[in-house]
Structure 1
Amino acid sequence: MTDSSASPSGVRIQLDHVSKVYPGSTQPAVDDVSLDIPAGEVVVFVGPSGCGKTTTMRMINRLSEPTSGKILIGDKDALSIKPTELRRSIGYSIQQAGLFPHMTIRQNVGLVPGLLKWDRKRIADRVDELLDLVGLDPGQYADRYPRQLSGGQQQRVGVARALAADPPVLLMDEPFGAVDPITRSSLQDELLRLQSELGKTIVFVTHDFGEAVKLGDRIAVLGPKSAVLQYDAPQVILSNPADDTVAGFVGSGASLRQLGLLRVKDVELRPHPSVHVDDDVESVRNVLADSEFDWVVVLDSRDRPVSWVRESRLAHAADVASVAESLDVVSTQSTLEDALEAILAEQHASAVVTGSGNRYAGVVTLDTLIDAITRLRDEALAHTPAGEAVP
């Protein structure tokens, strides 16, 4: 769920009684769908495989032509615009990035601006700007080929390419579905950060309800033929699912899932001692001696957390790096659900948090999350009519 501080650069999208019947089929793949997608919001289509959610999204940029109905993008009828012209004005990001393997990263990101006849300097400047925006150093990555990047890095490039011509609308078809869970969470955080700066209108397709809760300003829960079962804010769907089918998507433990509605930036971070990786062992021991803790966060030269060290391993250590242990971090854009997963995975029972520039910001503890769950439950009870149970 976004908290955009930017003025929306996106535009409203309206689907008005849109249907799709494939040639040779007697049954529609999408049947009479109407949706109003506000400018500058992230709207997530979630539903089971084969329900038509991808087809519905692809009709917005006419990669799948509607059989009937009307689609407005801003104040323009999408069906009155040439398909190639329409697609160049709408960003599109798919699973496994869809990069051209024979092109460098610079060429991939600059593809649409090139088709739009931007001059070379403008394209080069835009590519550098976008790579930096998605967390990839242009000097390090621009001249590489996709095969030389990790899956998560390729997805970042895919998002950069989709944003290259500064489109008002971004369509994303399960873009993070093919990466590991830790990378996926990081990419979700990055998308939320970008959206807070850019204010695009984003239509995002997923089968993962947890991802929908994390990313969506609104969620459209779709059934067969893209029937809209419920279209509302995540907190409304979590607390008041429209029917048993929607309740099945929400699943058990809805109170716990509401941790996906809160960001790490919404709770108070606890300070925790930190050192730098090139500090000598004696100074690290002194830091710990002056604190109540038996472990310390290790930072690099740019104050980014890279590892942690427990006091018991410092007794005979020659340097900090030799006894440092790997560390998974969450960002201030992460959800409290992400933080809980990190806490349960770490031996020090805390989640280390990064803020602006991926710099160390503090830690979140289990006590903080328990307080947040209690507060969410109290709020739910306060808004629940007498006699109804809180999920």
Structure 2
Amino acid sequence: MASGPSSGHGVEIHLDEVSKRYPGQRESAVESVTMTIPAGETVVLVGPSGSGKTTTMRMINRLIEPTSGTITIAGQDVLGLDPDKLRREIGYSIQQAGLFPHMTVGENVGMVPSLVGWTKTRVAERVDEMLDLVGLEPGQYRSRYPRQLSGGQQQRVGVARALAANPPVLLMDEPFGAVDPITRGVLQDELMRLQADLGKTIVFVTHDFDEAVKLGDRIAVLGDRSRILQYDTPDAILANPADDTVAGFVGAGAALKQLTLRRVREIELGAVPTASADDSPAAFRDRIGSRRGAIGLVLDHRQRPLRWTTAREAGAVSSLARAGRPVEDSVSQASTLQDALEAILTDDDGVAVVTGSRGEYVGVVDIDTVMNTIKSLREEHADEAGGRVTPAGNSA
């Protein structure tokens, strides 16, 4: 590809009148799709089962060959490229991870770099780098087999494998659809964090509109045979659905969904006293103080959150590693305010810890901050509604 996968930066993808018709079928599975996927953005294809969204995505890396039309990546026609080489230059992550069961985690992650000729030393270094990137300790996980991992851990390995050769494009086919809701939210946060750091071009397929709003820079709402009903930013689709079908996808609670359009990094974070697990409990007790509701945060050697503790709890133990209670949930700077609100509501003290790109502590967010943001959003939308002209044929 023109910019080359060695750079790893996202590149533009363009589909022009792309169709797919299977032998013996009267109608095309995909009919004349034209769209541009901007470099470095996450574009989500959302639609009901059978709408052709997965078929459309798989034509990009030629797992399914188009019947007609043109697909270009970084200006190059993919139909003129060797399909095996093309697929090695495009990351691919699917539901239930698709890991090879007879290979270790390290062998799975290093498979594509090995195929494209990287040295063993470089592959080994990349495996550890990728596992660390997706939040799995290399020394603990690289020699395990997929059957020894949870569903969420397998999906993390799947994402690490897709990114291992530093491709500019990542295709994701409902990658989090087979895990429980809590794990799914964590994996979504991880993907947003990774994308903020890496800037890949991501094409993501889902049937879940809430997931599309959370993850997408742009959303393509697809109808029958991948007909594009609306292709726009999540904000624009929530504020003004193109037709009744799109409005049906948006569903109730559009105002609350606006919280998924605001990232934690966009708000001013609070802070709490922190200490290392090796620090003096008595000293930390004094730093937290006796103010009602005051809490502190114990961090590990990499500045990652370990435990919440009050002054009283800190003073009752010989080691801060046992003080208070574990940090059960956290949000990243790339997380949405919806995620932050959910974490706050499930926390005993009504506060969510915020972490950086490597899981390190960067601050906290509380309910007052989120409520003030909701108030501001309501005022913004009230102003917009006051000046909006309703399109003919649509209800306001």
TM-score by length of 2: 0.89
Correspondences of 1:212-361 after superposition (within 5 Å): 212-277=212-277, 282-310=282-310, 321=322, 323-361=324-362
Secondary structure of 1:265's partner? helix
Separation (CA, whole Å) in 2 of partners of 1:243 and 1:265: 33
Deviates more, 1:278-287 or 1:191-200: 278-287
Separation (CA, whole Å) in 2 of partners of 1:302 and 1:129: 16
Separation (CA, whole Å) in 2 of partners of 1:149 and 1:88: 25
* Structure 2 contact 193–357 (Cα < 8 Å) conserved: no
Separation (CA, whole Å) in 2 of partners of 1:323 and 1:378: 40
* Per-residue Cα deviation, 1:77-119 (whole angstroms, up to 9, x for no partner): 1122232222112110111111101111221112122222333
State the Cα distance separating 1:374 from its structure 2 match: 1.7
State the Cα distance separating 1:387 from its structure 2 match: 6.9
Correspondences of 1:82-161 after superposition (within 5 Å): 82-161=82-161
State the Cα distance separating 1:334 from its structure 2 match: 0.8
2:359 matches 1:384: no
Partner of 1:175: 175
State the Cα distance separating 1:191 from its structure 2 match: 1.8
- For the structure 1 residues 140 and 336, does the alpha-carbon distance in structure 2 shift closer, same or farther, using more than 3 Å as the test? same
Deviates more, 1:309-318 or 1:273-282: 309-318
Secondary structure of 1:34's partner? strand
Separation (CA, whole Å) in 1 of partners of 2:295 and 2:163: 42
| Identity value in percent | 61
2:367 matches 1:370: no
* Structure 1 contact 329–354 (Cα < 8 Å) conserved: yes
Partner of 1:190: 190
State the Cα distance separating 1:287 from its structure 2 match: 3.5
Corresponding letter in the other structure for 2:343:
A
Separation (CA, whole Å) in 1 of partners of 2:96 and 2:225: 26
State the Cα distance separating 1:211 from its structure 2 match: 1.6
* Per-residue Cα deviation, 1:360-386 (whole angstroms, up to 9, x for no partner): 222211111111112222222333354
Secondary structure of 2:60's partner? coil
RMSD: 2.5
Partner of 1:205: 205
Deviates more, 1:261-270 or 1:118-127: 118-127
Partner of 2:50: 50
Secondary structure of 1:27's partner? coil
State the Cα distance separating 1:49 from its structure 2 match: 1.7
* Structure 1 contact 169–202 (Cα < 8 Å) conserved: yes
State the Cα distance separating 1:275 from its structure 2 match: 4.2
Corresponding letter in the other structure for 1:360:
Y
Partner of 1:4: none
User: What runs of 5+ residues in structure 1 fail to find an aligned partner?
Assistant: 1-6
Separation (CA, whole Å) in 2 of partners of 1:278 and 1:121: 35
Secondary structure of 2:309's partner? strand
Secondary structure of 2:270's partner? coil
User: What runs of 5+ residues in structure 2 fail to find an aligned partner?
Assistant: 1-6
Separation (CA, whole Å) in 1 of partners of 2:116 and 2:317: 59
Corresponding letter in the other structure for 1:379:
E
* Structure 1 contact 185–334 (Cα < 8 Å) conserved: no
2:82 matches 1:77: no
Correspondences of 1:10-89 after superposition (within 5 Å): 10-89=10-89
* Structure 1 contact 45–219 (Cα < 8 Å) conserved: yes
* Structure 1 contact 308–327 (Cα < 8 Å) conserved: no
Partner of 1:164: 164
- For the structure 1 residues 261 and 82, does the alpha-carbon distance in structure 2 shift closer, same or farther, using more than 3 Å as the test? same
Separation (CA, whole Å) in 2 of partners of 1:67 and 1:387: 42
Secondary structure of 2:358's partner? helix
Deviates more, 1:303-312 or 1:229-238: 303-312
Separation (CA, whole Å) in 2 of partners of 1:236 and 1:180: 29
State the Cα distance separating 1:258 from its structure 2 match: 0.9
Separation (CA, whole Å) in 2 of partners of 1:385 and 1:291: 45
Secondary structure of 1:358's partner? coil
* Structure 1 contact 255–373 (Cα < 8 Å) conserved: no
Corresponding letter in the other structure for 1:219:
I
Corresponding letter in the other structure for 1:254:
A
Secondary structure of 1:383's partner? helix
Separation (CA, whole Å) in 2 of partners of 1:315 and 1:128: 39
Corresponding letter in the other structure for 1:149:
L
Secondary structure of 1:177's partner? coil
Separation (CA, whole Å) in 2 of partners of 1:154 and 1:112: 17
- For the structure 1 residues 279 and 119, does the alpha-carbon distance in structure 2 shift closer, same or farther, using more than 3 Å as the test? closer
